Amino acid sequence: MPKKAQARRTSRLASEESAKKPAASSSAASTTVERAETAPAARAPATSTWKSYYSLIPVALGLLASANSLWNGYAIDDITQVRNNALIRELKNIPSAFTNSVWSFASNEIVFTADRYFRPLFNVLLTINYAIFGTAPWGWHLANILTHAAATYLVFLVIDQVTGSKVAGMITAGLFAVHPVHAESVAWVSGVTDPLMSLFALSAFYLYLRYKRSRNLVLLAGMLLLYLLGAMTKETALALPLLVAYMEVFHFEGSNGLGHRIIRAAAFVGLFAIPTLLYFLIRASALGSSGVGTATRYPLGPALATVPLAMAKYLGFMLLPWKYSYQHYTEFVHSPVSSSFIGPVLLILAITGAILWSRSRMLAFAAVWFVIWLAPALAAIPQFDPEYLVQERYLYLPSAGFCLAVALRIEWIAARGIFGLSGRRAAIAMSVGILVIYGAAYVRQNAVWRDSLAVFEKCVAVDPASAQARTDLARQLFDSGKQKEAEQMATSALALDPGSPGIYLVLSYISNATGRLDQGIDYLEQGVASVREGPVTSHRLATLELNLGLLYERRKNFDRAEQTLLKSIEIWPRSVGWYTTGQFYLDVGRFEDARKMFEQSRGDLPGRFAPIHLKLGRSYDGLGHVAEAKAEYEKYLELAPAAKDRAEVMRRLAEL
């Protein structure tokens, strides 16, 4: 057989589907598996010189499909993260990104501070962007587009290494470049965390694959460093050791027994333990907690039962290019005999069975890639409210697995043909058709992220029966100066679901902001009466009670204020509740009660949250405990050297 023909045959064996034969039944396939692990030189040379440019095609597609997001403005968190973030305005603040939370710039906002997101490299990117572009939106969107293009290129490199096929790499990366599920991550400035994390995670995995071929320890060290950087961009990167362990046990089988492969996987996981431990130590130093994410809001049982439904929704977003939205309201599943549980489980079992029946190592890799990179988002379901339980941006890196599965099917068609067309023509037609359909949907979805109002208008358009979508749109309408439209939208939400707590919060907010305090209280009282306390509604009911207590205080009804604030804490013990109740006690001169609440809150807050020391200082000051008051005031000034009330606190210190 001519050498070029033999090379092409070997390459196909490494990348195409072998649905009818187990890999172990073919000596050629077995040889290819060994080569995939140990002999990079055995990879087939390109049959034409232009194959070396395959990687540029998906990169160009990503740039082209994302270009219209350059005309977008800021949406949702962007306003706070970019325009109101004082910490990103000077490059000298970059080191502080590694000692503070994402929201540390909101130093006086207890709600933001209680959300312990530690993503220092995200803050570093924000600081660099600000130094280059200031607050010009187009520059920030350009940075997102370039990050997405770089991630697309890395997807090509990884798939090329795994499959030994530049064609599979090109198709996979091309689909990844234009898939509309990525609009949230690319067209939204604050959504860049997933593409940025993917740069590090993909690079780390690529170095792992290169190490498997060359055994160069420098590549292994680089893998561990990039893994650490990925974790410091977003917690999702912590899933990489699971992927490597899978590769060692199941993908790179070779001639080694299962026991040997498990030991080899354990050794790799042990190596990852070093940067993982370092990450948690840095995180604990910055936040005072090594836990990932925020406190659990919902019970574990319903959250676990909801995982199959969430998986089914994510698969639907990958397959069908429509109904994309910032919100996908997903009720928690409470019973294993409900259709919301049984249906998704049967779907997942059917897909799993089909993959096992195919006996395709590459298809199995694609599925495992999808599941492992999605696993952190699924594990975090107990922390998410139903409207944000399923989020499109969580599919950014997992989607490469789906795109690979499609590419493998297209290669299968290329080898066999379909509908009377030759294999090559059918494959080209299918590839172009999918790219055009997905690309058009991607461009359309990019435009949705032009501003916050457009984002929530799309939420209502996608799910007009969602009371929560209408509630959030009402808030955006009011903040945009459209009071009448806001009240109409909130009223329509109330008609859809009188038991939704968020509606009463927004109606109360609108009333209070327009000088109708009594009406604001009435709405919250209606909400408390209408929302039944339960595992899923408890934290929102607690929020209603907390806000009601604050309005009672404004009305000077201090007894009712105290009752509702304490009820809020009883329903949902949390730092925000203790802190707010402590402020109430401080306002009414009950300094010992205030001290107890602030001390309770401090144990659950990052050590660098300065306002808690000011509150404790004033509590001790009111109690006449001079030494303790001075210590807390001094700690406050140390942590907040640029505080607006610095002169006032220093004056009080001098008086003590």
| 100 token code pair | 């503070």
Q: Which of 400, 316, 413, 445 is nearest to 58 (CA)?
A: 400
Residue pair 580/546 in contact (Cβ under 8 Å)? The answer is yes
d(CA 328, CA 306): 13
Residue range 338-370, pLDDT digits in tens: 999 999 999 999 999 999 998 889 999 999 999
Average pLDDT of the chain, as a whole number: 84
Instruction: Please give the pLDDT value at position 288.
Output: 66
Residue reference for tokens 């072998």:
18
Spatial separation of the C-alpha atoms in residues 506 and 512, rounded to whole Å: 10
Which domains does the chain carry? 55-289+297-448 (no CATH), 464-572 (1.25.40.10), 575-656 (1.25.40.10)
CB 190 within 8 A of CB 125: no
Alpha-carbon span 307 to 478, nearest angstrom: 35
pLDDT, one tens digit per residue, over 355-408 is 999 888 999 999 999 999 999 999 988 888 888 899 999 999 999 999 999 999
Higher pLDDT, 471 or 6: 471
Which amino acid makes up residue 35?
R
Confidence at residue 296, expressed as pLDDT on a 0 to 100 scale: 63
- Is the CB of residue 434 less than 8 Å from the CB of residue 195? no
For 316, the enclosing helix (H) or strand (E) is helix 300-319
Q: Angle 300-319/339-358 helices, nearest 10 degrees?
A: 60
- Print burial letters for 466-481: b (CB count within 10 Å at least 16), e (below 16): bbbbbbbbbbbbbeee
Pair of tokens at residue 74: 């800021």
Q: What single-letter amino acid sits at 222? A: G
The pLDDT of residue 40: 37
173-to-128, 148, 155, 159 alpha-carbon distances in Å: 28, 11, 6, 8
CA distance linking residue 345 with residue 307, whole number of Å:
9
Q: Where are the alpha helices (DSSP H) in 393-422?
A: 399-416
Selection from 192, 285, 190, 194 nearest residue 235 by Cα: 194
pTM of the model: 0.84
CA atoms within 13 A on the CB side of 350: 7
Supply the pLDDT for residue 95.
Answer: 85
pLDDT for residue 282:
87
Asked if residue 12 has pLDDT above 50, the reply is no
Under 8 Å between Cβ of 450 and 75: yes
Asked if residues 82 and 74 have their Cβ atoms less than 8 Å apart, the reply is yes
Write the DSSP assignment of 193-260 as a string of letters: HHHHHHHHHHHHHHHHHHHHHH--HHHHHHHHHHHHHHHTT-GGGGGHHHHHHHIIIIIS-TT--HHH
Torsion of CA 55, 61, 66, 67, to 10 degrees: 110
Closest to 363 in 3D by CA, of 204, 251, 254: 251
Question: In residues, how long is the chain?
Answer: 656
Q: Yes or no: say if 202 and 399 are a contact pair by the CB < 8 Å rule.
A: no
DSSP 536: T
Q: How far apart are CA 186 and CA 145, in angstroms?
A: 6
pLDDT at residue 91 is higher than 50? yes
Nearest Cα neighbor of 190 from 125, 263, 110, 113 is 125
pLDDT at position 62: 95
Beta bridge partners of 418: 421
What does the alpha-carbon distance between residue 181 and residue 183 come to, in Å, rounded to a whole number?
Answer: 6
Q: How far apart are CA 286 and CA 107, in angstroms?
A: 14
Identify any residues that bridge with 386 across adjacent strands, giving them in sequence order.
none
Q: Which of 396, 387, 378, 326 lies closest to 78, judged by CA?
A: 326
Q: How far apart are CA 632 and CA 617, in angstroms?
A: 5
Residues 583-632: tens digit of each pLDDT: 999 999 999 999 999 998 887 776 677 788 889 999 998 999 988 988 98
Residue pair 62/164 in contact (Cβ under 8 Å)? The answer is no
Task: State residue 420's pLDDT score.
Answer: 56
Rounded to 5 degrees, what angle do the CA atoms 421, 427, 431 make? 135
Radius of gyration of the chain (CA): 28
* φ, ψ (nearest 5 deg) of residue 101: -80, 170
Q: How far apart are CA 391 and CA 325, in angstroms?
A: 8
Percent of the chain whose predicted confidence (pLDDT) is above 70: 86
Separation between Cα atoms, residue 301 and residue 313, nearest integer Å: 19
Helix spans in 449-557 (H): 452-462, 467-479, 483-496, 501-513, 517-530, 538-554
Residue 498 has a pLDDT of 87
Nearest to 479 by CA among 446, 522, 510, 457: 510
576-599 burial: b if 16+ Cβ within 10 Å, else e? bbbbbbbbbbbeeebbebbbbbbe
Query: Which residues 6+ apart lie within 8 Å of 341 measured at CB?
Result: 305, 308, 309, 333, 335
In tens, the pLDDT along 97-121 reads 887 776 665 544 545 555 667 888 9
